Amino acid sequence: MADLRGHLCWAPETASATINTEAVNPSPAVFLATHTPLRIRRARIQGRSLIPMDGTADEGTVLADFLERRSATGALLMPVVGDTGSGKSHLVRWVRENIPASGDRQVIYLEKTQTSLKAVVNALLEGVDSESLSKLRADIDSFSSGLDETALARRVINALNEVLAATSPRDLSGANRILAGPRGLAVLLQDPHIQEHLLGPGKYIPLLAAQLLHNRDAGSPERPAGFTVDDLPLKVQEIDKAAEVSKALLSKLLSKPHLRTPAVDLLNQHIETAIQNVSSLGSGRLQQAMLEVRQEYARQGKEIILLVEDFALVQGVQRELLDALTEPAVREGTTRYAHMRTMMAVTTGYFTDLPETVMSRVSAATTGYLYDLDLIFDRQDDGAEQIASFVGRYLNAARTGQEELQRSGGHRVPNICETCPVRTPCHDAFGHSQEGHGLYPFNRPALLRMVHSVAPANQPWAFVPRTVLSNIVRRVLVDDAAEISACTFPDAAFKERFPLGPEDPPLTSAVSELVNSYDQIDPQRRNRVLEFWGDAPADPAALDPGILEAFGLPPLPDEASQHRPPAPEPAPSVKGRPPAGENTPSPALRRKLEAIENWATRNLPLQQAIAGELRALIGETVFRRYNWSLPLMKEMGKTEASRAWPNNSIVVSIEGAGGENLPGTAAAPIKLKRNTLNSQFFQSLLLARDGSGTPRSEDIRRLARFADTKATDLAARLQQSFEISDADLTAGLRAALIGAALAGKAWPGMDDADLLSAALHDGRGWTRGDHTIRTAQWRQLLEHHLNQRKTLVEGLRAGLGLSQGIGAVQMIDAARALPLLRQAASNWTWRSPEQVPEWVKRAVMGFATWEERIDEQNTELVATLGRVRRHLPRETSGRDSVEAVQAALKEADKVGLSPTGAQQRNRLEALTAEAAKADWQVVSALERDLNKASSADADHATAARVHAAVRDRGASLNAIEAFLTEADQWLTTALSDASARSDLAGDAAARDVQTVLNEWAALSEGKSNDG
């Protein structure tokens, strides 16, 4: 027994050949077999507007009205208006097929594919001949065969230039007057460079030329009814090649957009005259020819029936044709021309844009009203039944095929469903039209939703037959046939083709997520079927078993219905407040929940304010649950940390939400896609924060997981923003070590504990004992660093420490700090300030010259050591030197060889006293350090140089040098004075002093080896 699974009751190729979107395409039998009675309304012409009238009509009423309505002038015009694809041409053809045969009528039919002037003129003049008409036909034949499309396009543009040049500014108003006359739009058409742009592919004039010479293929796109703003030369390349007068007008069109519409109107008003001038139709020839035709048929006693499938495409002859067909048949009581009835299809916009002079004649010829085919269905009318009837006929035709339709003549078409083996389950599951045509693979909810989806954006309830046939019926039966047969229909592309209209409720995210949890095979396809064929039910199991079978979807388990989400909350009571005692969301919260639902189910943008609330909820949860000990760093308040972790899309990015255009959004650590899972998550967050409704527990757990899994991202953001990454801290530690080295508190080779202590010291109280032997540049660099060191150390402590709450740092993370410290201490050079964090930069100003300062200071130390060694050779005891000077001073006092003056005596005694207390080992230590610096290999040279330069030598070295220098000066003077006294009184005493001085001199010259 046949079943519905993957059932195809049509052949795709048959459906493709049978379902035609153009009224002119199918044979009469197929046309009549698929024709569905239309709902038509009358509209009254009021100025340039159409005012709908009460009631509707069908095509039979329109036909009767057209054939029977009396016109006082004998020239009846019945426009049929509607937007593209509304069925205007379909109605005109149906009227043609149903006009009773009569010898009293001459039917002239202009198909919408008959766009060439030759076809139009021959159709209008068919059946009548005369010398003037033969001449007109010959001229049109010559025109059509004597030109190609390119040549005609150039003739048209040149003729239009001549017509525009003849216009007068008086015909326009205000600023628009600059468009008229020989220096107006005419100059643009005359400019060769701009002509090339206007004649480019896709532009109006070459398209017009092509279809003036050749009829349009039935399947090709319709030509625009006239110029549009896109045809204006607003994007001409290499504008400098244009003439100066052309550039001046172009600049006005570019800078003053209000001129563009008047420019287009001016072109459209004169294009017909230009066409007539190049096609031998000028001087009213067509109007006279048509009047001659009417005279001939009046002589024969016939009424003319003119049917025009698309009046806008009869370009070049429209006004003259209107003049001819609205010319009164009777003048002064005498019938001069045949009575004429004209039905013409025309788009609403084109009709209302006709010139006022034309509109007035049309209004008079229509007796005041016309027929409007723009169908608008609403929830109160029977639109669903009419749509089902319309589609059902085409479905039956697709199942029947052209051969059978031809045999039936289009009148008694068999209903294939009556002999189908699965008719009963199919009709029970998918439904059927009032005529008994099965709707499979559609049903009424699916059809309505698809029709609303393809309707114009500003008219969601509009029914456009051509769009429905091409985008829905034909596409599903032909393009989706393989997927239907394979039970993979509707696929993901289906939802993209048919986005929901605002009038159709989507499948709620709650139901969708329930399906996702119970359907482990194809949940998304089931959701699409539920939304369209199930009309978005609240119960995920609420699909007819026949629909499930046809689409190859197994039933959901019973518990899916048992766990279906609760019905929406009741509307709030008086003044928008929920009933007392009920835990229901506030009206404001409901609006937010609805916006989130529409974001997920309708692909609508999520308002920035709501997205901001959600970002704050998620981002702050991650922040507040952050463990500041992994890695250990100073705890921050939310305000302080907002620079690194702001409540915007840089941290929490929500697809399709407002505020997603910030730089850095693409790298957001938390990215939430537009889907039903996240819709439920967001709604739960708002419900939980508000304390109302019933948030899902799994969503609260998901928020907690975010807090756990995104902690590393938060830490990375904090480290990056506050510049406390490993690289930043290493740079800061190196800066702190070099600063400490400047102060003599750190140097290569110190143990980790001492280095870390020095690096984290803020420098308060730091002074150098050897500041007197430091270079001026060294002292200046140290002073600046110490003034800025506090900020540097605070940055290090914040990045490496743990605080009590958000207070001061109380503990340093040694496990993190020591590896970074060792890395910093492995290199005692410096890099440029641009490579370091902001909190480091001020403290390292001048560090670029750090190595120069090292070399300068070592040079200075070498010189100091040299001066000391000049008076204190190696292996000479400094303390012996002090004692010798002290002894010499005592002996010198006896013979008057003491330093002259109390000041010199006091200074020498003071220096001698300082030297007696000095650490004389500093001299040999400095000498060892400088020797290492000069002899170290390449790998250790920098560390040795730094070590020698930065060690604090204390005050001893300066005291020793000063003592030795002063003592040497006195010694030299005293020895000279002692020698001069050899023949004076007291020579013996002087000789005794000289003996002591000689001993000091020998000591200072290294001649004594006493300790």
- The 3-state DSSP class for residue 8 equals coil
Query: Could you report the per-residue pLDDT of 312-347, keeping only the tens digit for each?
Result: 777 778 888 888 888 899 887 788 999 999 999 988
pLDDT at 418: 94
Phi/psi of residue 346, each to 5°?
-155, 140
818: CB partners within 8 A, 6+ apart: 752, 756
> CB–CB of 383/445 below 8 Å?
no
**Residue with the two structure tokens 């001048």:** 846
Tell me the two tokens of residue 118: 């030759």
Tell me the two tokens of residue 212: 């003036």
pLDDT at 986: 46
Phi/psi of residue 870, each to 5°?
-65, -30
Q: Taking all residues of the chain, what is their mean pLDDT, rounded to a whole number?
A: 86
Cα-based distances in Å from 2 to 117, 203, 438, 477, 549:
56, 55, 17, 20, 12
> CB–CB of 179/262 below 8 Å?
yes
Cα-based distances in Å from 981 to 653, 987, 990:
101, 6, 7
Strands 40-46 and 105-110, bridge-based pairing = unpaired
Please determine, for residue 984, whether its predicted confidence score (pLDDT) is greater than 60.
no
Does this model's pTM top 0.75? My answer is no
8-state DSSP, 567: P
pLDDT at 337: 92
269: CB partners within 8 A, 6+ apart: 355
Residue 302 CA from chain centroid, whole number:
66
807: CB partners within 8 A, 6+ apart: none
8-state DSSP, 372: E
Q: If residue 253 lies in a helix (H) or strand (E), which one and from where to where?
A: helix 244-255
Query: Could you report the per-residue pLDDT of 686-722, keeping only the tens digit for each?
Result: 999 998 888 888 999 999 999 999 999 998 898 888 8
Helices 676-690 and 587-601 meet at what angle, rounded to 10? 170
Beta bridge partners of residue 50, listed in sequence order: 45
Query: Could you report the per-residue pLDDT of 869-899, keeping only the tens digit for each?
Result: 888 888 778 888 888 888 877 777 776 667 7
Q: Assign residue 761 a region: left if phi > 0, alpha if psi is -120 to 50, beta otherwise?
A: beta
Q: Distance between CA 993 and CA 998 in Å, rounded?
A: 9
Q: Distance between CA 82 and CA 88 in Å, rounded?
A: 7
Q: What percent of the chain has pLDDT over 70?
A: 90
> CB–CB of 385/437 below 8 Å?
no
Strands 330-331 and 75-82, bridge-based pairing = unpaired
Q: Assign residue 691 a region: left if phi > 0, alpha if psi is -120 to 50, beta otherwise?
A: left
Confidence of residue 255 (pLDDT cuts 50, 70, 90): confident
- The 3-state DSSP class for residue 107 equals strand
Phi/psi of residue 79, each to 5°?
-70, 145
Tell me the two tokens of residue 318: 């429209």
> CB–CB of 188/250 below 8 Å?
yes
Confidence of residue 200 (pLDDT cuts 50, 70, 90): confident
Cα-based distances in Å from 766 to 61, 670, 784, 830, 840:
107, 47, 13, 22, 19
> CB–CB of 227/271 below 8 Å?
yes
pLDDT at 1010: 37
**Residue with the two structure tokens 């000069």:** 934
Measured CA angle at 733 (ends 727, 735), to 5 deg: 105
Tell me the two tokens of residue 42: 């009358």
Query: Could you report the per-residue pLDDT of 346-361, keeping only the tens digit for each?
Result: 888 888 877 776 777 7
Measured CA angle at 122 (ends 119, 124), to 5 deg: 105
Residue bearing the bigger pLDDT, 250 or 485: 485
Q: Distance between CA 917 and CA 879 in Å, rounded?
A: 9
Q: Distance between CA 29 and CA 800 in Å, rounded?
A: 88
Query: Could you report the per-residue pLDDT of 937-967, keeping only the tens digit for each?
Result: 988 999 999 999 999 999 999 999 999 888 8
Cα-based distances in Å from 255 to 183, 233, 262, 326, 642:
18, 13, 15, 43, 44
The string of DSSP codes covering 493-561 is HHHHHSPPPTTSPPPPHHHHHHHHHH-SS-HHHHHHHHHHTS-S-SSTT-S-HHHHHHTT-PPPPHHHH
Please determine, for residue 182, whether its predicted confidence score (pLDDT) is greater than 70.
yes
Tell me the two tokens of residue 52: 């709908």
Tell me the two tokens of residue 413: 């078409």
Beta bridge partners of residue 145, listed in sequence order: none
For 103, half-sphere exposure in the C-beta direction (CA atoms, 13 angstrom radius) is 1
Measured CA angle at 390 (ends 384, 394), to 5 deg: 140
Please determine, for residue 228, whether its predicted confidence score (pLDDT) is greater than 90.
no
Tally of residues, the chain: 1011
**Residue with the two structure tokens 């309830």:** 461
Q: Distance between CA 2 and CA 738 in Å, rounded?
A: 90
pLDDT at 196: 87
303: CB partners within 8 A, 6+ apart: 104, 105, 106, 297, 338, 339, 340, 341
User: Most distant CA pair in the chain: distance in Å?
Assistant: 176
- Taking alpha carbons only, the member of 622, 657, 658, 660 closest to residue 641 is 622
**Residue with the two structure tokens 């899916």:** 560
Please determine, for residue 24, whether its predicted confidence score (pLDDT) is greater than 70.
no
- The 3-state DSSP class for residue 654 equals strand
* CB < 8 Å & 24+ apart, contacts of 541-547: 544/428, 544/429, 545/429, 546/4, 546/425, 546/426, 546/428, 546/429, 546/430, 547/429, 547/430, 547/443
8-state DSSP, 652: E
> CB–CB of 338/303 below 8 Å?
yes
- Taking alpha carbons only, the member of 703, 495, 690, 662 closest to residue 591 is 690
> CB–CB of 456/464 below 8 Å?
yes
> CB–CB of 398/477 below 8 Å?
yes
Q: Is the peptide bond before 490 cis (omega within 30 degrees of 0)?
A: yes
Tell me the two tokens of residue 927: 């000498």
- Taking alpha carbons only, the member of 262, 240, 256, 148 closest to residue 194 is 240
Phi/psi of residue 535, each to 5°?
60, 35
For the segment 795-815, the average pLDDT, to the nearest whole number, is 72
Cα-based distances in Å from 798 to 25, 329, 719, 795, 994:
80, 100, 10, 5, 69
Q: What percent of the chain has pLDDT over 90?
A: 48
- The 3-state DSSP class for residue 325 equals helix
Q: Is the peptide bond before 26 cis (omega within 30 degrees of 0)?
A: no
pLDDT at 671: 96
For the segment 54-63, the average pLDDT, to the nearest whole number, is 88
For the segment 917-946, the average pLDDT, to the nearest whole number, is 92
pLDDT at 663: 94
Please determine, for residue 1008, whether its predicted confidence score (pLDDT) is greater than 60.
no
For the segment 289-296, the average pLDDT, to the nearest whole number, is 91
pLDDT at 461: 82
Strands 75-82 and 369-372, bridge-based pairing = parallel
Measured over the CA atoms of residue 265, residue 267, residue 268 and residue 269, the dihedral's sign is positive
pLDDT at 50: 87
Beta bridge partners of residue 652, listed in sequence order: 670
Low-confidence winner among 170-174, 298-302, 516-520 (lowest mean pLDDT): 170-174
Query: Could you report the per-residue pLDDT of 358-396, keeping only the tens digit for each?
Result: 777 777 788 788 999 887 776 656 778 889 999 999 999
Confidence of residue 39 (pLDDT cuts 50, 70, 90): confident
Low-confidence winner among 488-492, 779-783, 806-810, 830-834 (lowest mean pLDDT): 806-810
- The 3-state DSSP class for residue 401 equals coil
Measured over the CA atoms of residue 343, residue 346, residue 352 and residue 355, the dihedral's sign is negative
Tell me the two tokens of residue 430: 């998918």
- The 3-state DSSP class for residue 604 equals coil
